[in-house]
Amino acid sequence: MAEPLVIIEDLHKSFDHMGRMLHVLRGIHLLIYSGQIMAIVGPSGAGKSTLLHCIGTLDLPSSGRIRLGQEELTTMSGRRLAAVRNRDIGFVFQFHHLLPEFNALENVMLPGLIQNRSRKQMENRAAGLLEEVGLRDRASHRPGELSGGEQQRVAIARALSLEPKLVLADEPTGNLDTGTSESIHDLFFQINREHGTTIVVVTHNTGFAASMQRVVRMTDGLVVGDTNGSGEAVAPGAADTPAPSLVFGRADR
C-alpha cells in the first residue's frame, strides 16, 4: 500500500455561535494515501467542508493533529502555513473564484507568480494545463466569457499549476448541469491517473463518489464509514480507531 500523505489524529473543531458551542468535528482519525482519489460524503452539516478546510489549512482545528508529508501543519506559524498551502495544496471550489479582470491563462499563472516564479515559466506551464483540460483555444478569454464548466476547468488547471501533492475539491460540480458535471468528473480521474495527484473531493453526487477508489462517510462530525466504491470496508473500525500516534514520532501513553 502507498504511504500516507495526510495523517489526521483526533481532530476537533468547535465554533461559538451566539453563546452556544457548536462541535462540528468530534475527533476525526483518518489516513489519506498518496496517489489516492477519494470522496467524503454525508448529509449537510456533517462537517465535510470543515474537515476539508482544516486539511487545506484554510481553517485551524480546535485540537488534534494534521500532517502533510513530513510536515505537521497544526504547529506551524501562519506564514509557514501560507507557504505550504501555496506550494503543496491545490483547491477547487463550487464557485470558481477566478479573478474577472484576468484571462484564463493569467488566472492559471497566478499561484506561480505569487511565488515569484518567472512569468515565462508560468506562461508555458499554464498554456500546457489549459490544453490538458481542453481549453487551449480559450486561454485569452476572461471568466465572464466562459461557460460554468469552462470556468471550473480553468480552476482545476490553476489548482495544478504548481504540481501540488494534494488537490482538495469542495462540491466542484454543485452548480453545473449533468453533462458538464460528468465531463469534470472524468477530468479529475484523468488527472489522478496521469499525474498521480492525490485528490479528495467533498460531494453529494453519489454516482461520482461510488466511482472513486475510496469513500469516507461522515455524520455529526464523525467518520462513520470507510469503503471502496463497491462498498467493501477499506479500513475497518476507522470511525472509532485512532490513527497510530507513532507516525507523529511519539508513542501512545
Per-residue pLDDT, 251: 30
pLDDT in tens, 29-78: 999 999 999 999 999 889 999 999 999 998 899 999 999 998 899 888 88
Per-residue pLDDT, 1: 58
Entry pTM: 0.85
**CATH number 2.60.40.10 given to 4-248:** no
Per-residue pLDDT, 65: 94
Name every residue whose Cβ is closer than 8 Å to that of residue 158 and which is 6 or more positions away in sequence.
Answer: 90, 98, 107, 108, 110, 111
Per-residue pLDDT, 229: 61
Residue 224's CB: how many other CB atoms inside 10 A? 14
Place of cell 465572464: 144
Q: What share of the chain is helix, strand, coil (3-state, %, to 5)?
A: 35, 25, 35
Per-residue pLDDT, 172: 85
Per-residue pLDDT, 250: 34
DSSP for 174-218? TTS-HHHHHHHHHHHHHHHHHH--EEEEE-S-HHHHHTSSEEEEE
- Which of the residues in the chain have pLDDT under 70? 1, 229-231, 234-253
